[in-house]
Amino acid sequence: MLKGLTGLVSSLLIVAGVATARPLDIYFIDVEGGQATLIVTSDRQSLLIDAGYGGRGGRDAERILTAARDAHIDRIDYLLVTHFHNDHVGGVPDLVEHIRIGTFIDYGSPLGTPLGPDRMTTRAFQAYEPVRATARHIQPAVGDRLPLQTVEAVVVTVGGTVLRDPLPGAGAPNDLCATVEHQPDDGTENYRSIGVMLRFGEFSFLDLGDVSGDTLASLVCPRNMLGEVSAFLIPHHGNYDSDIPAVYAALKPRIAVMNNGPVKGGDPSAFRTLHRLPAVELWQLHASRNDFAANGSEERAANVDDDGSDGYWIKLSAGSDGSFTVMNQRTGFRQTYARPETASAAADKKDASR
Q: What is the mean pLDDT of residues 303-327?
A: 89
Report DSSP state, residue 39: E
pTM, two decimal places: 0.90
Question: pLDDT for 193-213, tens place per residue?
Answer: 999 999 999 999 999 999 999
Of 286, 299, 279, 278, nearest in space to 257 by CA: 286
Type and span of the H or E element at 335: strand 334-337
Type and span of the H or E element at 40: strand 37-40
> Is a pLDDT exceeding 70 seen at residue 190?
yes
Pairing label, strands 100-105, 136-138: parallel
> Cβ(323)–Cβ(336) under 8 Å?
yes
The residue with greater pLDDT, 9 or 160, is 160
Question: pLDDT for 214-263, tens place per residue?
Answer: 999 999 999 999 999 999 999 999 999 999 999 999 999 999 999 999 99
Q: Can you give the pLDDT at residue 307? A: 59
- What would the CATH number be for the domain defined by 22-352? 3.60.15.10
Burial class (CB in 10 A: 0-12, 13-18, 19+), 57: exposed
Question: pLDDT for 269-296, tens place per residue?
Answer: 999 999 999 999 999 999 999 999 999 9
Q: Can you give the pLDDT at residue 354? A: 47
